[in-house]
Structure 1
Amino acid sequence: MRRLLLSFTCLSLPLCAPALAQGAGTPPVTEPSAAVAETVVTATRIPTPIERVPGAVTVIDRRTIEERGYQTLSEALVAVPGLALIQSGGLGQPASAFIRGTASRHALVLLDGVPVNDASEPNGAFNFGNDLLGLEVERIEVLRGPASSLYGSGAIGGVINIVTRRAPRNRAIEAFGELAGGSNRTLRGGAGVAGTVREFDYLLSLRSLSTRGTDATPSRFQRDTREKDGFRGTTATARLGWTPSDRFRLEGLANWRENHGGLDNVPEDDPNYSFEDRRYTGQIRAEGKPIDAWTTGFRAARTVDRRRYSNLADSLDLSTTDDLYRGERTVLDWGNQVRLPDAGILDASQLAFGVTHEREEVRQASGSAFFRTTVDADATSTAGHAGYQVRLFRRLDLSAGFRTDSAEDYGTHTTWRLGGVLAVPEVSARLRASYGTAFKAPSLYQRYGRIEGFFQGNPNLQPETSRGWEVGVEFDIPLAQQRDAVTLGATYFRNRVRDLINFNAGFDTLENVDRARIKGAEFTATLRPARWLTANIAYTITDARDALTGERLARRPEQQLALNASIRPVEGVTIAPELILYGRSREGAFASYADNGTAFTAARDNKAGAVFNLTATWQVTEPVALFLEGRNLTDSDFEPANGFAIAGRTALVGTRFRF
């Protein structure tokens, strides 16, 4: 895992996402593929040294995913500083991400730059337990802090961008694949082909995982039946591109994901509770360069989510559940970036601007016949955005960005962000600071949901808003002849969130009634004492509280420590241990359970816990590798969320190839 920095002047989805996807120091997006460099990032289309850009981003690249044996999105995110990943059980079980203490609905997720938060989810949150990290995933980028001036609604806590791989430029065909099996009858496999033929390039990939699963109900519960929650997931991706010249590119991307599995109720197992979840995402993007200094692009994208939850009557529950959710999102985006000429003390000047139009539609029917929740609504919004970045005296980088979103049902909302980085090369240090605003629009359920005779959504809800700032320092410590043998970083952040949406006193509608105040710190260290060893440390302290009552917010660990390393004892062999330590966290009233299954009527603390993973890889030949993945090797029964235990000790063995 590498920690990179992202420039906040890149505001257009068609232009920003591919630049991030290509990584540091790569050619423009008009190229069908790109190599990843170590020190710069091209969020503004011009390679920029890492020391010159503000705002923290953690990049989990393909090599890291394979070295550490990450097979799902939730597994890959647990070691990210400032992010708490809370999953209710093992593979395929629901999972939420709390970035810098904000709510799970305040994390915006993108797939190659396209928002994929399910519009039919009642709060607009993303389920991180559903996505497999297939061979088509090239990298994951986690941007922490308010980013609505960059990506719009939902980016109060941060943004997570899943980037798919691109075809090699110099090969007509490249085949890649993987096959693994192990504990709990788990079978994982995938294969794909990619290549470039003259001006055309392509990528086709298929990934599948099935497992008998584990029991998410803690063994301490007296009525635990040991029923396992199975999971089957499939993901397919297709990308086609046409690059007739170095000034124009046309590209299409399609992604399909379908999951089936079992779920548990608290405080006891329910063998008939199951789910199926489908997502279809497609986009077409065109980009051109009328002149060398100007890049313009247009994207049309559509995402459809379909979810169904079923629970037949049995001895544990006599009721029958058949919940249906359908959410759709259409995005049209036009973006531009212009590189301006240098002038005296000013250089590296860049301007970005564009327009985004978005439409959401939700059809939902869930719950029993007596207590049926329904939503049948749609909404549109249009946003204009712009940003500017410049360097002064070849030492101070400044950036500014703003965005105005105009919606048909909650009015107009403007967000902005300022940032700066001061290089102090005399001591190999970088000082950075930023301040910004963000918002989360009320979901269609919050505005138009209905339970006949009990609840009615509030169409007059206003967006949840925040103001946040951070200051940080990062510096390198030389050792022998290595300039960055040790890299240390520290960041302090504060955020105030207003107009949070919650139930009114009668629990029959929703209002903008809550506030939160959040502060914390992130400490990181990367140690490179020898060529065969790299170690990473990430320690996060988070204090997230209800601003009105002073109570700690639920499911935000007060402390979290991630330790991992890449050890190469001999050529071709890599051993990657990972230890995650979770501090205590709060659980709300009626969400904590005693051993007999009784719910506590007051808020309580979840206990601290630890998880140890280990992955070993042997590169037998250049195209073929063997690997062994061990998860929770200490067999911890830690409960990130009260009433849901993590999966027990598991192991998988497999092979990976590329020809």
Structure 2
Amino acid sequence: MRSSSLAILAAMLATTLPAAAQQTTLAPLVINAAGLTPFEEQQLGRSYTVIDSETIALTKPAYVTDILRTVPGFAVSQSGSPGNLTQLRVRGAEANHVLVLIDGIPASETSTGEFDFGRLAVSNIERIEVLRGPQSAFWGSNAMAGVINIVTRSASADGFSGSVATEFGTDGTRMTGGSLAYGQDNFRASGGLTLRHTDGFNISSLGDELDGSDHIDANARFSADITPSLTLDGTLRYGRVFAESDWQDFSSIVQDTSDTTRLHELFGSLGLKWVSEDGLWFQNARVSAGSTDRLSTDRFGAIADSSVGDRYTGSYQVGRHFDTPDFLDSTHTVTLGYDFVHETFQRLGSTAITDPSMLDPKARTSHSLVGEYRGTYYDQVFLTAALRHDFNDAFADSTTYSLSGAWQIPDTGTKLHASAGTGSTNPTFFEQFGYIPNSFIPNPNLVPETGFGWDAGVQQSLFDGMLVLDATYFNLTLDNEIATQGFNPGTVVNSPGTSTRQGVELTANLDFFNGFTAGVSYTYVDARNADDTREIRRPEHSGALNLAYAFADIPLSVHGQLVMTGDTLDTDFATWPATDVILPAHAVVNGGVNYQLSDQVELYGRVHNLFDTQYQDVLGYNTQGRTFYAGAKASF
């Protein structure tokens, strides 16, 4: 994992470094989600983390949240076993303030505006890119606190390759997966399929019913060079989740019931990229479509809710690179773009709906104009600026901007980085139209939430890059926050006043030449409502420690992980008015071992929650205890 939020325990780690060591020069890391066009990491003034394929192959996580729990500034709230609602909050913001992309396609549900990470197993993923801070100037609504781009594997230009894998676990896990890729000079295609089942565990503290889940994740992508200047590419993803859950009553007690959730999703895109013969001009065009179909049943087997949401997008960018060697020895890139987004949402049925008009389909459309400037000065100062205006047909228009800069100070290993910008998050379809009799009344007059955020930090590379430290301070203010008002029935309103989030991210990454790597992070978050009360499910203190060692003489590697979460505030509805409660701090230890039996076959084992720590992310919902897994992977 590479990160630009890097530094704690630096002095202790530095004392163990040898006086001299050999360091392999790595190719520049390119981040696709950082702007309208890809960035090299040294050019980024914004705070980022990239979880690379080596990290994923080493730790072999079952679900994406298993990795994201270690990312600085991230807080995960899982309501039960895998497949159930899992929210992710970045830097103290709301779950729908982070935009999730899969191969560049927005994947959040139109009903809530957020991505349910309970539905996403690790399947054929090449890397995960994380940008923290407001990114709405590049990506529009829901990118107020950051962007997560999940990139699936692509093929290399050297013929056929593939893999098959299987895994078993003490929680009744059965996993089967495979991938296939083909590449030649002008054509590349790849795809993968993963089937995962778990018997799960009892979400409730009552009874003994296990709450399991089934995941199907399939994806494919291709790229074809039509001419030396023109490339066509496409992506396709299908996902299906069936999860058993339990019902939480109005006293916040999770009852041991037989509720279920079923979700289908299908996403696809096509893109064209053109570059002039001299490499100065470029054009990009992309269209995408996605659909999410969700069905929930209650403890009596009746339909609690059923809905479908669709999103159609189109984008076009044109840009030019140019040099001005006589002016600060600088290079520049200017990009102009247009984005189109059309979203629909329809509730198909619910035992709570008595008015048929509540089943009418809803739709909204936005058109956006965006411009981006990137400049490099003396090959050490990097500046980025972006401006966007969204024309919304359902509520007020929105203008957002982004400014960032980085200075790689020569011959020092020091990089200064800072960013500032604004973000916006549109009201969700459910907030506008999600009527539930005697419980919730929608508010079609809501306006988008808006925010301003900035961060600044310093990154220091020591011992030829073996040790990289960083400290980053961040600050975000939120206006027009959409909050619940009243009870039975309640509604949502744009709250007066300003909510605040601020904190510090510290990390250190160590890469010894002898096969030992370590990464440690600590995050402090102070997230406040407009009335200065603490926000729920956002721990003030969190951190992670990752260790790995690859033996030189035998094909064996071991890894360990410690995920630490401080006291977390949640809401107990057993009283009226509801009261705040503290979920105690906890630490979870994971680990594993990988053995390369041959060039083609790898055996592995891992343990989750080694010390069987009992804790809750969400009040009333149990989490998984100690579990063991064993698997094998064959490549060809």
Q: Same fold (TM over 0.5)?
A: yes
Structure 2 residue 395 is matched with structure 1 residue 410: yes
Distance 2:157 2:169 in 1: 36
Query: Counterpart of 1:159 in 2: which secondary structure?
Result: strand
Aligned residues: 605
Query: Counterpart of 1:227 in 2: which secondary structure?
Result: coil
Distance 1:551 1:413 in 2: 28
Distance 1:51 1:329 in 2: 34
Match of 1:189?
176
Query: Counterpart of 2:118 in 1: which secondary structure?
Result: coil
Superposition pairs of residues 360-399 of structure 1, within 5 angstroms: 360-365=343-348, 367-369=350-352, 374=359, 376-399=361-384
- Residue 285 of structure 1 and its aligned partner are, at CA, apart by 1.0
Measured against aligned partners, the alpha-carbon deviations of 1:45-73 in whole angstroms (never above 9, x if no partner) come to 99866333211211112221121121111
Match of 2:27?
37
Distance 1:61 1:265 in 2: 38
Answer whether contact 1:616 1:629 (CA < 8 A) is retained. Answer: yes
Amino acid in structure 2 at the alignment position of 1:351: V
Query: Counterpart of 1:264 in 2: which secondary structure?
Result: strand
Match of 1:447?
432
- Residue 108 of structure 1 and its aligned partner are, at CA, apart by 0.7
Superposition pairs of residues 115-514 of structure 1, within 5 angstroms: 115-121=106-112, 124-134=113-123, 136-171=124-159, 173-197=160-184, 199-218=186-205, 224-266=206-248, 267-291=253-277, 292-313=279-300, 320-344=302-326, 345-365=328-348, 367-369=350-352, 374=359, 376-452=361-437, 455-478=440-463, 483-505=464-486, 507-514=489-496
Structure 2 residue 85 is matched with structure 1 residue 100: no
- Residue 456 of structure 1 and its aligned partner are, at CA, apart by 3.9
Amino acid in structure 2 at the alignment position of 1:37: A
What are the ranges of 5 or more consecutive residues in structure 2 without an aligned counterpart?
6-25
What are the ranges of 5 or more consecutive residues in structure 1 without an aligned counterpart?
6-35, 219-223, 315-319
1:562 pairs, out of 522, 540, 544, with 544
Answer whether contact 2:77 2:87 (CA < 8 A) is retained. Answer: yes
Distance 1:406 1:610 in 2: 46
Query: Counterpart of 2:65 in 1: which secondary structure?
Result: helix
Measured against aligned partners, the alpha-carbon deviations of 1:592-615 in whole angstroms (never above 9, x if no partner) come to x7xxxx899311111101111002
1:551 pairs, out of 533, 537, 552, with 533
Query: Counterpart of 1:65 in 2: which secondary structure?
Result: helix
Superposition pairs of residues 522-561 of structure 1, within 5 angstroms: 522-547=505-530, 549-561=531-543
Distance 1:312 1:100 in 2: 36
Q: Which moved more, 1:394-403 or 1:603-612?
A: 394-403
Match of 1:625?
602
- Residue 2 of structure 1 and its aligned partner are, at CA, apart by 1.6
Change (3 A) 1:51 1:254: closer
- Residue 150 of structure 1 and its aligned partner are, at CA, apart by 1.0
- Residue 588 of structure 1 and its aligned partner are, at CA, apart by 2.0
Match of 1:587?
570
Cα RMSD, aligned residues only: 2.3
Percent identity, please: 27
- Residue 477 of structure 1 and its aligned partner are, at CA, apart by 2.0
Answer whether contact 2:572 2:619 (CA < 8 A) is retained. Answer: no
Distance 2:146 2:38 in 1: 23
Query: Counterpart of 2:522 in 1: which secondary structure?
Result: strand
Answer whether contact 1:81 1:540 (CA < 8 A) is retained. Answer: yes
Match of 1:76?
67
Match of 2:584?
607
